[in-house]
Copies of this chain bind each other. A is one copy, B any other.
Amino acid sequence: MTTVAKIIELVGVSKVSWEDAVENALAEASKTLEHITGVELLNLTANVDQGKIYEYKVNLKLAFRVER
């Protein structure tokens, strides 16, 4: 059996924190992908209004096994 992993890039968002944005992306991705094995954070940004962050954003790479 050959094992190959695929890596995709997602953007997770959250009103709370960057860690929550990562978890949101993971939760959403795991609805359709069964074998997620890891994430790597690429870029942390945020949208700001009136000097306050109202949306945390994380670009992340997500790896999942492709099993057949």
Question: A-side interface residues toward B, CB under 8 Å?
Answer: 2-13, 17-19, 22-31, 36-41, 43-53, 59, 61, 63, 66, 68
Contacts and interface: CB of A to CB of B under 8 A. Distances in A.
Contacts of A66: 28
A38 to B, nearest CB: 5
Classify the interface of chain A: helix, strand, loop or mixed: strand
Contact of A13 (B4, B46, B50): B4
Contacts of A31: 68
B30 A2 contact: no
A2 to B, nearest CB: 5
B68 A28 contact: yes
A59 B41 CA distance: 12
